[in-house]
Structure 1
């Protein structure tokens, strides 16, 4: 944040103007709360990583960087009947009659290789 001098300057400016910008104060408060939450979350992840005795810095860093992720809850899991196929161009594993793709053998209708060297 601004530090003690920044807060003092803001207080002096407010005394001079006697007008408080509540939207700016709210924005500043939200930013401070978000930063504090991030600090606590990452610090807890660091402590967990040290407690787990991770093998490398990369693993430690991965745990800290993923600290904002939350585990899935049972209600979040996908289940039940699928209504839309993953690949809409296939019907029960067979290509549709409208969209068939022909693959030519190697050598037919292929441009000659270029020498890049």
Structure 2
């Protein structure tokens, strides 16, 4: 016999799972274009600091799905995306991109 509290908890979990599934199916949340655009802004910030170069002088190119190149003020660097399993379409906000989609410096010259 289920208690009301246990049944209520199961109902909440079931509804949350259903809503999450519907959100993904409906395409709500951010898509890869949104995510990549935010990642490019993060690359500009990182490269500006690492190159000691104004943000306006940094040019970013997406090399492939996981690699970004940055150049400015006479130097270049590459950044690799190391995604958590939650980094992808349907992610809710830029805050979650910052949490689940890590960018690391791969090379600099």
Provide the TM-score with structure 2 as the length reference. Answer: 0.27
Q: Which structure shows the bigger proportion of residues in strand conformation?
A: 2
The higher relative CO (CA closer than 8 Å, separation ≥ 6) is in: 2
